[in-house]
Chain A
Amino acid sequence: DAGVIQSPRHEVTEMGQEVTLRCKPISGHNSLFWYRQTMMRGLELLIYFNNNVPIDDSGMPEDRFSAKMPNASFSTLKIQPSEPRDSAVYFCASRPAGTDTQYFGPGTRLTVL
């Protein structure tokens, strides 16, 4: 099993730039989650997709953040424009149908200067 794949692993950008984070869930999993991890706020759920449809985006901080899942094997999280306070580790996780266990990717460490 390849596990959840995220790219890039590290991203350094300047304030105001657009940032796109990518995730490939485990094949056959039908749920996908985006989390953000910071020292101050810990692990926060940003958005949850089920069968490629966004179900809960109440954790998305503001309109600068958007997420898409065009098909079962790919999702993106976009920040436009980026701000220094967006600096964090962003995790993608996937889950197979009928189970309660989420499988996490290695994360993308985002630094906005």
Chain B
Amino acid sequence: AQSVTQLGSHVSVSEGALVLLRCNYSSSVPPYLFWYVQYPNQGLQLLLKYTTGATLVKGINGFEAEFKKSETSFHLTKPSAHMSDAAEYFCAVSDATYKYIFGTGTRLKVLA
């Protein structure tokens, strides 16, 4: 069985500060890992994904994530937060079939 844990349902950062959103997963098979972003009243948009290969993955809007097998983690980072990054972020794990298991989400607030 697979599962995802996102630590911190709400994270606040100052504009220009580092963004770190945490995601830990559990999977009995090599996982596929995803980060999605949801802006208010919109659907989910793919930020980045890890399937195989390089463990540091770069996505859109300056975000990146690193797959760390030993820590079963896939944390999302951005060096400098922008007001437009305020949104809800979801981590998801898949076993390379059709099924995504989503985390409960982390709402990011960016302070001016």
Contacts and interface: CB of A to CB of B under 8 A. Distances in A.
B46 A101 contact: yes
Interface of B: 32, 34, 36, 41-46, 49, 51, 90, 94, 96, 98-100, 102-105
Interface residues of A, number: 21
Interface in A37-57: 42-43, 45, 48, 50, 55-56
A102 interface: yes
Interface of A: 4, 31, 33, 42-43, 45, 48, 50, 55-56, 91, 93, 95, 100-107
A43 B43 contact: no
B101 to A, nearest CB: 9
29 contacts: A31-B98, A33-B98, A42-B104, A43-B90, A43-B102, A43-B105, A45-B99, A48-B98, A50-B98, A55-B98, A56-B98, A91-B43, A91-B44, A93-B44, A95-B98, A100-B32, A100-B49, A101-B46, A101-B49, A102-B46, A102-B100, A103-B46, A104-B36, A104-B44, A104-B45, A106-B41, A106-B42, A106-B43, A107-B43
